[in-house]
Structure 1
Amino acid sequence: MNKIITGLLAGALALSAAPAVLALDALTLQLKWVTQAQFAGYLVAESKGFYDEENLDITILPGGPNIAPEQVIAGGGADIIVTWMAAGMAARESGVPLVNIAQPFKRSGLMMICPTETGITEVADFPGHTLGVWFFGNEYPFFAWMNKEGIPTDGSAGGVTVLQQSFDIQPMIQGQADCISVMTYNEYGQALDAGYGPENLTIFNYTEMGNDLLEDGLYVMEDSLDDPAKVDAYTRFVKASMKGWQYALENPEEAAQIVVDMDDTGAATLEHQLYMVGEVSKLVDADDPALNMETYDRTVQALLDQSIIKATPEGAYTTVVTDALK
């Protein structure tokens, strides 16, 4: 009996002396769109184990045309979302208290393209034409631009007709719209594949025109920031994500393959994802996730001018996470 007790005691002491295995902090990330290289940093961080290194268990949820990240997080389906600032601020004013905690994308990838046969060579040529615009929160930069130019968007004389565009270039190819919205890293590549390019397109680049509003940022619910443990988890998440972005931009071929491998739908192709990584690299600052206040102020002013939001937001961003990474 004494031998049994001694054996059990020794086992207990051995267990108590073993290093404690900490439970991983679970976070769910909701992407703004389907699995693609627009989100390469997060997908690479997951694939390469960078989140594990930060004691995080990350679930990444793909988005899609019928998924609004703002609604997902409001319903408790995510801890962090990737969304455009215009959509985030509009949601905040409507009662979903979103807060920007980091801004990896520093520049806009949004453009509008018009085939030369439409005769459109400058903004002054827009009136009387149909322009394709994405909705579900993606329409705000366009309406802010038109407001800045003084061009009505209700189809009236001297204005433009707005077509709620599908998330591809078909409205241009099928002649449903004279100009369409594209992202430099996605639909513009589709246009190139279809035989379009600078030689037969008029291209309006939102960034080059000074009409860029902040796009893919990381947002959380405001009340979660009252929990120091949650803030710590967010900080480790952003740290690992930026490591993922750095790796992706330095290793584009591997990053593109990781995106393809993680796309459960099988729709992602290696060639297109490699193109996307290259274009996204022009928009992301992999060394600095902090919010640029000049671009933030311009985004806010554009939203106010268009009455997309009615008042200057208070508490719509925090630097607590990015400050901790300096």
Structure 2
Amino acid sequence: MNPALLLRALTIGLLANVLAVVMSMSPGHAQTALDKVSFGTNWVAEAEHGGFFQAVADGTYRAYGLDVTIVPGGPNNNNRMLLISGKLDFFMAANTLMSLDAVVNDVPVISVAAIFQKDPQVLLTHPESKITKLEELKPLTLFVSKEGVSSYFQWLKSEYGFSEEKVRPYTFNSQPFIADKQSAMQGYVTSEPFAIEQSAKFKPGIILLADYGFNTYSTLIETRGDLIDKKPDLVQRFVDASIVGWYHYLYGDNAPANAMIKKLNPEMTDELLAYSIARMKEYGIVDSGDSLRDGIGAMTDERMASFFDKMVRAHVVRSDIDYRKAYTLRFINKGVGLDLRPKK
């Protein structure tokens, strides 16, 4: 080869290599390491956690610069304690009462988003009773769990005049309810009605407490105050990506998330997953109320104050606590993902 041409080729090659290195170091082309994040749920994998699994499975968290590990909960796992001790970054709290309890006990966790606008708690009835309103449940035997008696049932007493004389222990066995046509049983709208249909071959009546004023938020994202102070950008990205994951799960192709759920929870079936998703959409569990305007995850000061006042009247929480320490609106109500909701 002509020496001059050889020198020119080598020079061009060197410049190309230098340019490639510079391009890889520029912000638009940087191969930035993902931030590792751990998120603990409060139960085994199920559709009620679907948006979080969706954000892992379809790459949404990665698109937000996050490498997220979901740690499923269960009867023998206390993921909230792992959050408090610093071994998890985020936790899925069941409802606002947990957030208020954290304030009472000076636990340094804060709710940063409320994925469920409505708590899925229901009371189920027999079709023969023809009950269509909450007040009509008063004469019935009520199967309520120990946790239910100390929380939502106290609200039923203070707001609607229910009596504990009608309460019988609910041990997560539906047979006593099935056997007694003059009874009602607690459950979640996303699961227990399906189980009754499968085992007893009848479709129970459903009274959703949220539709009668039990306005706790549910499935909240909690984190520690120190993480908010030190890494607010990470908290924001996790909240935003989780919200997008929930839009994809409800309104897009949720097969990737459901595959993850079934792998982690072999007892889960396609039929129950489909039922749970359909009920979440039908009853507006995730996407209703304020979320229609502000996006999934929405919370408001007014609603938090309203629920706190109800729990004080029901003697579930003390009146002297500062409930505003339980949550922050800093990371939500920004309309994230609203463009992903199907147009009507």
The answer for the alignment partner of 1:163 in structure 2 is 169
Count residues in correspondence.
Answer: 304
TM-score of the two chains, using structure 1 as the length reference: 0.80
CA RMSD of aligned residues (A): 3.3
Query: 2:205 matched to 1:205?
Result: no
Relative to the length of structure 2, the TM-score reads: 0.76
Alignment-derived partner of residue 62 in structure 1: 72
Residue aligning to 1:53: 63
Tell me, yes or no, if structure 1 residue 95 matches structure 2 residue 74.
no
Name the counterpart of 1:269.
269
Deviates more, 1:286-295 or 1:266-275: 286-295
| Equivalent residue number for residue 82 of structure 2 | 72
Identity over aligned pairs, percent: 22
* Conserved? CA contact 1:256–1:273, under 8 Å: no
CA distance in 2, matches of 1:134, 1:38: 22
Residues 94 and 272 of structure 1: CA distance in aligned 2, closer, same or farther (over 3 Å): same
Written as runs of structure 1 = structure 2, the 5 A alignment for 1:139-218 is: 140-153=151-164, 159-166=165-172, 169-173=174-178, 178-193=183-198, 194-198=200-204, 201=205, 203-218=206-221
Greater Rg over alpha carbons, structure = 2
What amino acid is the match of 1:149?
Y
> For structure 1, which runs of at least 5 residues remain unmatched after alignment?
1-9, 154-158
CA contact (8 A) 2:53 2:260 kept: no
Match of 1:132 in 2: 144
**Separation in 2 of the partners of 1:64 and 1:204?**
27
The 1:13–1:138 alpha-carbon spacing in structure 2 relative to 1, beyond 3 Å, is farther
Partner of 2:304: 296
Indicate conservation of the 8 Å contact 1:108/1:215, yes or no. yes
| Distance change (3 Å), C-alpha of 1:115 and 1:77 | farther
- 1:100 to partner: Cα distance: 1.4
SS in 1 for 2:117: coil
Amino acid at match of 2:238: F
The answer to whether the aligner puts 1:122 opposite 2:128 as a matched pair is: no
Task: Give, in angstroms, the shift of residue 111 of structure 1.
Answer: 0.5
**Equivalent in the alignment of 1:250:** 251
User: What is the deviation of 1:13?
Assistant: 9.6
The Cα offsets for residues 21-40 of structure 1, whole Å up to 9 and x where unpaired, read as 32211111111221111011
Q: Are the aligned partners of 2:54 and 2:256 in contact in 1 as well (CA < 8 Å)?
A: no
Farther off after superposition, 286-295 or 269-278: 286-295
Aligned equivalents of 1:66 and 1:89: distance in 2? Answer: 23
Distance change (3 Å), C-alpha of 1:124 and 1:218 = same
User: 1:177-210: CA deviations, max 9, x gaps?
Assistant: 9432111111122122232325xx4x43202222
1:112 to 123, 129, 136: 123
Whole-angstrom distance in 2 between the partners of 1:226 and 1:152: 45
How far off is 1:52 after superposition?
Answer: 0.5
CA offsets, 1:127-179, max 9 Å, x none? xx3522263x89522332233334453xxxxx23341532x63452466x943
Runs of 4 or more above 6 Å deviation = 10-14, 117-121
